[in-house]
Structure 1
Amino acid sequence: MIMGAGKTSVVSPMLALMLAEGSRLVCLVVPQALIMLSRSVMQNCFSTVVQKRVSTFKCDRSVDLEVNLSARVSRVCSQGDIMLSTPGDVKSLQLRFLEQLGMANDRRAKKNTPQTRRECVEMGRMLELLKRGVCMIDEV
């Protein structure tokens, strides 16, 4: 599409409004450089007449996983809100899941702990929500 034609400020909010009705997760994936702009655009669009919350999903493989991640994202989905993320955060979640799944299945691994297995289940739930949801990709 043509640059400056309103993809971020018109098309993305309109699609989010149509798709975020509470039965599936709506995730807008944007480059790291545009996450604040996209968040601002979405919040401005959904703060007056039609109100929807805009939450941001972040995942870093070096930081502990949020305990109730899938519950929080499930709430975003059921309330018809919108989740914003970057390709790197989604990729980090997938890689971390695969890494910990390997550790959880290896009985000899030192990091095969109940916490590792709980995190693995939590990430699996989160990936299932993403799989069943809608991913809108902007400028990626």
Structure 2
Amino acid sequence: MPSAQALEAALLDRMPERSLLDILANVNFWTQWVRHFGPLSGSEPKLADPRQRYILTAFTFCCNLGPTQAARHLQGLATAHELSFTNRRHVSVNQLDAAIKDLINAYHRCDLPKVWGSGSSAATDGTQIRSR
């Protein structure tokens, strides 16, 4: 299977392995979805690096790890207290909804969803949707 091995090598060369945190940061670069987060009071965040903290917080709670488990995996990027605090004080349901809308709209602008159908619906959580 030399052709299959060549294809695999070409794919690996063009699509290097990425971590989920790298992907979240990259998507934020293109969509700025973390701009919706911030202190619930409306003031400017007093965090050293708000963008990084919001990405780490999204990773923590969207993967359902919880702050203690995530802090262990993040190897010093944030403590459990920092992640929990950020989630409680800088993220609301309305802010999450706004960020999610940004991500859905960005996905809808891509060509790939239209290859699979009209692009009027999508499932990213493993939900099975009947396809044509």
Q: TM-score range by the shorter chain?
A: under 0.3
Calculate the TM-score normalised by the size of structure 2.
0.27
Larger proportion of helix? 2
The structure with higher relative contact order (CA 8 Å, sep 6+) is: 1
